[in-house]
Structures are given as C-alpha cells and as structure tokens.
Amino acid sequence: MSYPEIRPRRLRRTAALRRLVSETRVDPAELVVPMFVKEGLTEPRAIASLPGVLQHSRDSLRKAAVEAVQAGVGGIMLFGVPAQRDPEGSGGIDPNGILNVAIRDVVSEVGDATVVMSDLCLDEFTSHGHCGLLTPDGEVDNDATLAAYAEMAVAQAAAGVGVVGPSGMMDGQVGVVRKALDAAGHTDVAVLAYAVKYASAFYGPFRDAVESALEGDRRTYQQDPANLRESLREVALDVAEGADLVMVKPALPYLDVVSAVRAAVDVPVAAYQVSGEYAMVEAAAANGWVDRERVMLETLTSIRRAGAQIILTYWAVEAAQLLRQRY
C-alpha cells in the first residue's frame, strides 16, 4: 500500500502550528470603525437594520471613541446626521454643523491615539439625498459640487480631522480637495479617496443609519458593478490627483477589484465592508445559521488576503478585541 510522502496536513495539526504558518493576519491597527453622530440626541439610538450599531449623541460618541482606542483600532470614520437638511447640504460646510462639531469632540477626546477620519460628501446633508448639488433639471452638477467639497474639506481640516474621505465619486474631487487643503495651510491632512465606489445594493442599512433622503439612485456617478477596468482608471486618476490612500467599496463582492487595485498602485489600499455585508451576517447569526465570531473574522481575513491593508468595518472594535485575545 502506497502512502503520500508529502503531507500538508502536518502543519494543520494544532492551533499553535496553524498560527505559526498563517499567511494572512488581520491586525487591530488596520481596522477603522465607522461611527454615526446625530444632532440633537441626548442618548445613543439603535439602528434596527444594523444590530449593535448606534446613532451616537455627542457624549456617547466621545465614550465610543475612547473604547475604540482602548481596543487598538487604527481609525474612526465619522458620519454626521443633521437635524435639518437643505438642497445645498450647507450643514456639511458649517463649522458648527454636527459633523464638524463631532470631529472636534473626538479629536479633543483621543488626540493622536487613533486616526480621526471624516466622510467628505454632501449626501447626509442634502434634502434630496444626492452626493452633490443639483441642476435645475435634477441632475447632479459635478463642477458645482467640487466647489462645495473644497469648502467642506477645509471646514473638516479646521475642525482637526487627520484624514478626509471624499466619497461622492465626482470627477476631479481628489484634486480639488487636495488643492483646497493646501491653499488653506492644511498640507498635513491626508486624503483617503473613495476611488472605487460601486452603485451597490449593499448600502441599504447605511441609508437607515444616516436617515437618507435619497430620491432616485446614484448610478450616474457611482460605478457599474460589472466593471473592473473602469475601477483601475478611477484609481489611477485619484492617485495622480494626490490621493494618499485609495479605497474600494463594497468589499466582499469586489475582492477581485481589491486585488487588482493592490497590484496597480503603491499607496495604501483600503476596503469598506459595508452595512449590507455586516447586516447579512448578523441576521444569519441571529437565526443560528452561522457562527457569528468565526464568520466575522473569516470575512475580515478574506478582505486582508485580497490586498486591503486597511478595512473599514462595523465590527472593528469587537474584532480588534477578539484578535488581541487570539494573538
């Protein structure tokens, strides 16, 4: 009877051996937690479609930021939910708007202990829910929106943010933001470009979190899920315009895109594990269909293995705690 001479299973025999030869590890410092702060709240509010995720009050946001730092999370991405919206999204530019106030709150609370990031987009602040200003016939006006993004970037930098995340998928947004920041003396503020952002069906729970007022869809500016070469073009343009980091969103349905982007650029690559990805696992786990913690870490490992150095995920704090226990 013949036996195999080469036995790969030898290196799987114990947990210690598996750890020793593991090819991909997720480090807590590579995780970024998105956080929502709602104007006027006095207590945090649960988001039904995102179990475990909250709309924060200003006070609870500060506490959550400290918890994230204690867990070793690498960054916090802030999103604001204003009490009032208008067609111009003026609350996003107002120094006293909820997002800019939240940036100041978090920076004053945690300083440089983690990287404070902010979403740079008008969609949370516009009464129509689009990521830009509209023409009289209801189309998103790319160039008028760029001017608003420039003001918004300077306002966020003045509030103390370390990284701005232009996410509206307007042509030229990175270059305009970079020039505005530099002209205002904020040369040290980095730009995380949402370079690849698909018109995805996975964003539904996020729109609940920010109480989106979206009318219609965003297919004229977000990317067609069928396209990869277009994504590489978008990434190349953003890097040429001065992006310090680039991001792919969503993550799991687009791991091939993450891998292709990683191979194409020499700046750090991030991926956003979006609300729908998170919510599906939480729903399946609540029904007893999957092992929640194992699936959580498996999904994060797959995103890291595909080439994302940074992962935005609603599990960031919990996953960081689990990873620190494991390693």
Considering only CA atoms, give the Rg of the chain.
20
Q: Is 151 annotated as a binding residue?
A: no
Contact 285, 36 (CB under 8 A): no
Q: Is 207 annotated as a binding residue?
A: yes
Contact 38, 56 (CB under 8 A): yes
15 strand-pairing partners? none
**Does residue 249 carry a catalytic annotation?**
yes
What is the DSSP annotation of 215-254? -S--TTTSBPTT-SHHHHHHHHHHHHTT-SEEEEESSGGG
For strand 190-197 and strand 75-81, is the pairing parallel, antiparallel, or unpaired? unpaired
Q: Is 218 annotated as a binding residue?
A: yes
Of residues 116, 241, 123, 221, the one with CA closest to residue 181: 241
Instruction: Give the C-alpha distances (Å, rounded to integers) separating 89 from 38, 123, 172, 198, 247.
Output: 15, 7, 19, 22, 24
d(CA 118, CA 159): 10
- Which one from 38, 63, 179, 249 is the annotated catalytic residue? 249
Instruction: Give the C-alpha distances (Å, rounded to integers) separating 228 from 7, 235, 250.
Output: 38, 11, 13
d(CA 242, CA 193): 9
d(CA 301, CA 189): 29
**Does residue 197 carry a catalytic annotation?**
yes
Read off the amino acid at residue 76. Answer: I
Q: Where are the alpha helices (DSSP H) in 111-214?
A: 142-159, 173-183, 204-209
Residues in contact with 219: Cβ distance below 8 Å, sequence separation at least 6, in sequence order:
199
Q: Is 234 annotated as a binding residue?
A: yes
> Which residues are annotated as catalytic?
197, 249
Binding residues for 5-aminolevulinate: 207, 218, 275, 314
Binding residues for Mg(2+): 234
